[in-house]
C-alpha cells in the first residue's frame, strides 16, 4: 500500500551523520522556490479585518517578504480591503490582478469572488466563484504557495470561522514551510486558527502582534539561505559538529523510541535546521542543549522528521489503477460473507486507510456481495493516530472526494466532515514501527 508519511529514505551506513565519510551538499539542499524571498499567505475570514490591521501595523516595511491576503469576500460587493489595509502600513497594498508579479515588501489582497494561486512568481486569478458554500480560497492559495515556494512558503491563519486554510497548510508543512496560527484566545472568531492547531499543522501559536517578529526571526535564519554559499555553510557546520548530529538522533531514540539513524542525512539535516530556524538557534550544539532541556522539542522534531503528506484519493490515477488491478479481483474472488483484510503502513492521519475502505465497500456493493472488511492501519506517530481514530477532517476535502462519496461515507458537521461509523469501524489503527516491529503476515488467512 501507499503510505501517508513521506519519510527520509533509509541509507547505507556510510551515509550516516556519525560515519567517517565526508558530507557533501546533497541535492535537496538546493532551493526549488520560484522566488528568492519568502511569501506569506495570510488567511482570514470573519473578524479578520481587525487582525490584519494589527498584523500589518506590527510588520516592518522592509522585511524582505511579500504578503498575500486571502479572505472570504462576497463576490456581490466591491472590496475596500486594499484601501483599508493601506492605511496601516507604508508598504504598497494592491488588489490582485491576473498575472501580477510578486515583489518583496508589497501586500496583495484577493479580489472578491475569485480564487488566487501562485505560478512562476505571478498571482493568477481563477474563474469567478458562484457558490459560496464551495469556496476554499485559503486552501487553494496555500497549496499553490507550497508547490511554488517550498521551504520559503509561510502560512498565517488569523481570525475566521470554519476550517479554511487547514488543508492547504498541510501542503506547506510537507514542503518544509512555516505555519503560524493566531492564538484562538485573541481571535474574534477562533474557528480557523483552532482548526489549524487541532490538525497539528501550527508550528507556532501567537498573538497577532507577535507574529511579524517571529516571521522576521525565521527568515533571517541561515536555514533559508539556500544559495551555494549558504549551503556550504551548512555542510561546514555539519563537518564541525558530527557528534552533535549523532547526539540529536540518540536523544530522539531514547525519548520517543523512533530510530532515524538508518536514514540518509539530507532530509534529516533540513528538518533539524528548520526547527533551529523556528527557535532562533544558530548552532547544532545549542540545539542539542534545547533538546536536552525540553521534552516537547524532541517530540516536535520527531514529528517534523515524519513528514505527513497524505490525503483522500491522493494521486487519483494511482488509486484508479489500484482499484482495477487489485480491489476488483480481490472482491470478485471472495465468497459472500467472506473476510477481506488489508494493511496500510505509515497511515498518518488515516486518509489513505479510509480511501481503501471506500473502494472495497463500493466494489462489494457493485457486485452485490456482503463482505467483512478489516483494514489494519499503522504509524509511529501517536498524534496522527489519534486524529485518524477520530475520523474528523476539515472542510477542503471536497476537492479530493466526489459529492457522491461525501454523501455516502461522511457526515457534515458545521465546517468539518466525520467518517460515518460503518466505515470507521472497518479500520483499526495501531502504533507500529515497520523497521523494528514484526509485520502483519497473516492477512489472507
Domains of the chain: 39-220 (3.40.50.180), 223-305 (no CATH), 316-431 (3.40.50.150)
pLDDT tens digits for range 184-229:
999 999 999 999 998 888 999 999 999 999 999 899 877 676 555 6
Please count the other Cβ atoms lying within 10 Å of the Cβ belonging to residue 416: 19
Q: What is the DSSP letter of 281?
A: -
Listed in sequence order, the residues at least 6 apart from 223 whose beta carbon sits closer than 8 Å to its beta carbon are 151, 273, 274, 276, 277
Asked if residue 299 has pLDDT above 70, the reply is: yes
Listed in sequence order, the residues at least 6 apart from 208 whose beta carbon sits closer than 8 Å to its beta carbon are 51, 54, 55, 58, 158, 182, 183, 186
Q: How far apart are CA 34 and CA 282, in angstroms?
A: 26
pLDDT tens digits for range 143-163:
999 999 988 999 999 999 888
* Amino acid 45: pLDDT: 87
Cα-Cα end-to-end distance for the chain: 18
Q: Which three cell numbers stand for residue 410?
A: 461522511
Mean pLDDT, the chain, whole residue set: 83
Asked if residue 183 has pLDDT above 60, the reply is: yes
Asked if residue 359 has pLDDT above 90, the reply is: yes
* Amino acid 445: pLDDT: 42
Asked if residue 10 has pLDDT above 70, the reply is: no
The torsion angles phi and psi of 312, rounded to 5 degrees, stand at -70, 130
Q: How far apart are CA 406 and CA 412, in angstroms?
A: 9
Q: How far apart are CA 352 and CA 217, in angstroms?
A: 36
What's the pLDDT band for 266 if we cut at 50, 70, 90?
low
Cross-strand partners of 263: 10
Amino acid at each position: 500500500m501507499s503510505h501517508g508519511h513521506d519519510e527520509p529514505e533509509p541509507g547505507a551506513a556510510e551515509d550516516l551523520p556519525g560515519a567517517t565519510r565526508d558530507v557533501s551538499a546533497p541535492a535537496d539542499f538546493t532551493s526549488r522556490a520560484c522566488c528568492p524571498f519568502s511569501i506569506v499567505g495570510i488567511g482570514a475570514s470573519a473578524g479578520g479585518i481587525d487582525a490584519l490591521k494589527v498584523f500589518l501595523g506590527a510588520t516592518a516595511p522592509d522585511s524582505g517578504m511579500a504578503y498575500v491576503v486571502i479572505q472570504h469576500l462576497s463576490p456581490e460587493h466591491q472590496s475596500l480591503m486594499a484601501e483599508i489595509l493601506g492605511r496601516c502600513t507604508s508598504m504598497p497594498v494592491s488588489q490582485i490582478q491576473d498575472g501580477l508579479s510578486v515583489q518583496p515588501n508589497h501586500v496583495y489582497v484577493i479580489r472578491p469572488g475569485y480564487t488566487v494561486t501562485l505560478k512562476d512568481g505571478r498571482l493568477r486569478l481563477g474563474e469567478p466563484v458562484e457558490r459560496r458554500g464551495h469556496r476554499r480560497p485559503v486552501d487553494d492559495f496555500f497549496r499553490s504557495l507550497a508547490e511554488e515556494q517550498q521551504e520559503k512558503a509561510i502560512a498565517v491563519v488569523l481570525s475566521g470561522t470554519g476550517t479554511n486554510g487547514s488543508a492547504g497548510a498541510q501542503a506547506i508543512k510537507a514542503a518544509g514551510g512555516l505555519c503560524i496560527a493566531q492564538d484562538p484566545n485573541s481571535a474574534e472568531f477562533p474557528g480557523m486558527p483552532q482548526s489549524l492547531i487541532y490538525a497539528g499543522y501550527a508550528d507556532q501559536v501567537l498573538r497577532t502582534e507577535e507574529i511579524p517578529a517571529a516571521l522576521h526571526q525565521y527568515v533571517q535564519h541561515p536555514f533559508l539561505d539556500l544559495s551555494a554559499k549558504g549551503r556550504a555553510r551548512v555542510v561546514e557546520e555539519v563537518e564541525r559538529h558530527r557528534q552533535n548530529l549523532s547526539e540529536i538522533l540518540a536523544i530522539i531514540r531514547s525519548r520517543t523510541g523512533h530510530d532515524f539513524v538508518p536514514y540518509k542525512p539530507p532530509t534529516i539535516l533540513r528538518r533539524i535546521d528548520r526547527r533551529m530556524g523556528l527557535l532562533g538557534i544558530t548552532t547544532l550544539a545549542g540545539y542539542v542543549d534545547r533538546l536536552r532541556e525540553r521534552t516537547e522539542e524532541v517530540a516536535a522534531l520527531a514529528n517534523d522528521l515524519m513528514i505527513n503528506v497524505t490525503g483522500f484519493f491522493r494521486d487519483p490515477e494511482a488509486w484508479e489503477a489500484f482499484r482495477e488491478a487489485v480491489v476488483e479481483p480481490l472482491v470478485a474472488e471472495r465468497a459472500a460473507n467472506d473476510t477481506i483484510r488489508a494493511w496500510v503502513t505509515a497511515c498518518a492521519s488515516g486518509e489513505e486507510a479510509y480511501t481503501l475502505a471506500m473502494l472495497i465497500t463500493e466494489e462489494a456493493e457493485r457486485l452485490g456481495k456482503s463482505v467483512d472488511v478489516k483494514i489494519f492501519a499503522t504509524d509511529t506517530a501517536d498524534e496522527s493516530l489519534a486524529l485518524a481514530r477520530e475520523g474528523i477532517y476539515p472542510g477542503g476535502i471536497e476537492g479530493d472526494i466526489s459529492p457522491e462519496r461525501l454523501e455516502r461515507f461522511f457526515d457534515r458537521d458545521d465546517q468539518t466532515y466525520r467518517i460515518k461509523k460503518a466505515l470507521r469501524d472497518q479500520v483499526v489503527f495501531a502504533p507500529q514501527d515497520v523497521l523494528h516491529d514484526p509485520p502483519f503476515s497473516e492477512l489472507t488467512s
